Structure 1
Amino acid sequence: MSEHKKVELQKGFYIYGIILFLYWGLMFFLDKDYFSSKYMIEGMSFIGVAVIIYFLLVYLFHKSDVGRKIVMWVLGVVFIVAVTGFFVTFG
């Protein structure tokens, strides 16, 4: 893949992260009668941390081969935690 395409792909992932952050914030704002202020603060805090981690992973993935390995390990751990949480929740 050419360097130009890699940069464009990275920019696309960053734009996607920004759109998700804005969408989730808009969701909390539009449903403010449904969510209490405590849950809105917790939700936006979680979303903020998730977006920061997402940007960090996108940066690492495009930085080097070591960054790609780190991202794959992190995604593997997230997958294992999600599957474990699923079975514990329904177990």
Structure 2
Amino acid sequence: MNKFKYEDIENEIKKIFIELLQLDKKVEELDSNENLFLEEYGYSSIDALELIIMIEDAFEIAIPEEKLNTDLLESVKSLTDYVYSLLQDK
């Protein structure tokens, strides 16, 4: 049984994103559908890799390399959907 609720995963991913980019935002201020590659955040490919590593550590999962693409990293929602599906399979 999955111990994580969808909302909990979403909030944790937001926290990781805020921490990684040192944003002056609260979790509730980050729009889950907003494109994560917005230049206003200064988001780079190195940040993307760090984000994936932090998410893998937080949820004790491994995201296969073939899944690492712009669709997955498009938004908090796309990441949450994928992590939730991986955790459902655990």
What TM-score does the superposition give when structure 2 sets the normalisation length? 0.32
Q: Which has the higher contact order (CA 8 A, sep 6+)?
A: 2
The structure with the largest alpha-carbon Rg is 1
